[in-house]
Amino acid sequence: MKTAFFNRFSLDLPDECVIDCAHQGPCDEDVEFWFLKLDTSQFPSADAIRAELRECGAWDKDELIDNDANLRRLIWIAAGQIRDEQREEERSAQ
Predicted confidence (pLDDT) per residue in 18-42, tens digit: 999 999 999 999 999 999 999 999 9
Q: Report d(CA 64, CA 15) in Å as an integer.
A: 27
The predicted pLDDT at position 33 comes to 98
Task: Note the helical H segments in the chain.
Answer: 15-21, 28-37, 46-56, 67-93
Q: What pLDDT is stored for residue 54 in this prediction?
A: 95
Q: Decide if 6 is inside a domain.
A: no
pLDDT at 15: 97
Give a yes or no: residue 81 inside a domain. Answer: yes
* Domains of the chain: total: 1
Neighbours of 76 (CB within 10 A): 18
Q: What is the pLDDT of residue 52?
A: 95
Task: Determine the pLDDT at residue 90.
Answer: 86
Residue-number span of the structural domain to which 56 is assigned? 12-93
- Confirm whether 43 is domain-assigned: yes
Q: pTM score, two decimals?
A: 0.93
In a domain, 27, yes or no: yes
Please indicate, yes or no, if residue 1 is contained in any of the structural domains.
Answer: no
Is residue 73 a part of any domain in this protein?
yes
pLDDT digits (tens, 9 = 90+) for 38-91: 999 999 999 999 999 999 888 999 999 999 999 999 999 999 999 999 889 888
